[in-house]
Structure 1
Amino acid sequence: MKKLLYILSFLFGFGVFGQNQELFKAANTLYNEGKYAEAIDKYEAILATKNESAALYFNLGNAHYKLNNVAPSIYYYEKGLQLEPNDDEIKNNLAFARNMTIDAIDVLPEAGLPKLIKNITHSFSFDAWAKVAVVLVFVFVILFLTYYFAYTSLRKRLAFVGSLIALASVCVSLAFAFHKYNLDKHDKPAIIFVQESKVKSEPNNRSEEAFRLHEGTKVQVIDTVADWQKIKLADGKTGWVSKQDIKSL
């Protein structure tokens, strides 16, 4: 019975994949014909099957950009970058889409050692840092065994020093891996999805209005209370917005 279920699930998955390929081609054809709204419907039909890719998000962002849909275009470009952080095409188009936003938010400058550590940490994913640490563990073991079985004093010294360097590198890699994990854990970006959002000083409608944000602005969600979410901007400002006003990435 289990084998039958596996076969059926495989055939179903293969069928969905083939259907999505056809939908993707049809959507691209509609996009090239200038039928952007219809293309969006096709792309979203693929997303409804729980299948995603950087190319799919990129094309969705392009279609929304052509229709001047500021928030959706930025949202889907950001989603594409989550899957392919180094894709230059997505970065360039995201920059164009951001030019359509109203809010001009200055980024707090970072300098010195904190900036260097952050840049190094983000150079690899958590999994990549973990793999580097595993490789270095093997290097350490090999060098230590070389030191243990070496007959000459020179080889022993070189192997011993090398094993110490490898062990230190393991510790550094693990430190960057856990630092990356913590950064990702607290990274909760979202996009303002309404034309204008009133940011409150407290999580209720009676509180004072702190400032206003407009569609397409990227924020960080740092807390949630009932139907309100506390956000933080790149310039350090914080406030509370309705959950309905933003869409989490």
Structure 2
Amino acid sequence: MNEHLPEDACAVVHGEPVPREHVEAVLAAVPVRDAPYQGRGELRDQPPRTRSQNTTPLAERSAERQRRRWATQIVVADVLARRACEERGLKPPEPPAARPLTAVPQADVAGLGSIVAVVLASSPAARTLLTQLEADQEIPERATREYYEHNRDRFLTADALRSGVDPFGTATDADFLPYEHVKAGIEGELRQAAGRRAFFSWLDEARADVVYAPGHEHPGDPSHPDHEHRH
């Protein structure tokens, strides 16, 4: 029950209080206008702090509460990742000197969701865990071959591309890069995708037992009125 949380904690992870000041540090590091809020099942673009013709004080307060919940997830995910690395005997690199959390490629936000994208950009432990999860994935030969067969347009030769060959119509075998030449690349892409899915599954399971202080719940938690969880 969250009434037992220490007053200065935003959450408790396996009995370990997580200081609110860590959330404040994330909020300070990510200006409102820069926070990458659009992506995989997370939040929409973050509303601006300043009032505009289309916002109300109530909407602004709601947006700020959601922003705080979003930042809490960044902090909690880092704590969970550090614990997971310790349990697996992994040693993340030492974090660099304080750096802004704003340089997150939009493609990563779109593909990973804003929370995971920022966690991976800012947490050495999360990146170390993801690398291990990717390495653990077994990609069967059949999956690699099927990807090659079903995505022929990706493997046209340079000459075929220049000639405008239709990969699904007039192309012949000579218009495609040989399977053996692209097999390693395909396998790497499939392993990366499988590793990311494993990371999402790990995070969903790991944060299931986290206890949050009021105002720091997951942004998509339907138990609070401001919840925002869009797919």
- Place the TM-score, normalised by the shorter chain, in its bin: under 0.3
- Please identify which structure carries the higher helix content: 1
For normalisation by structure 1, the TM-score amounts to: 0.26
* Larger Rg, first or second structure (1 or 2): 1
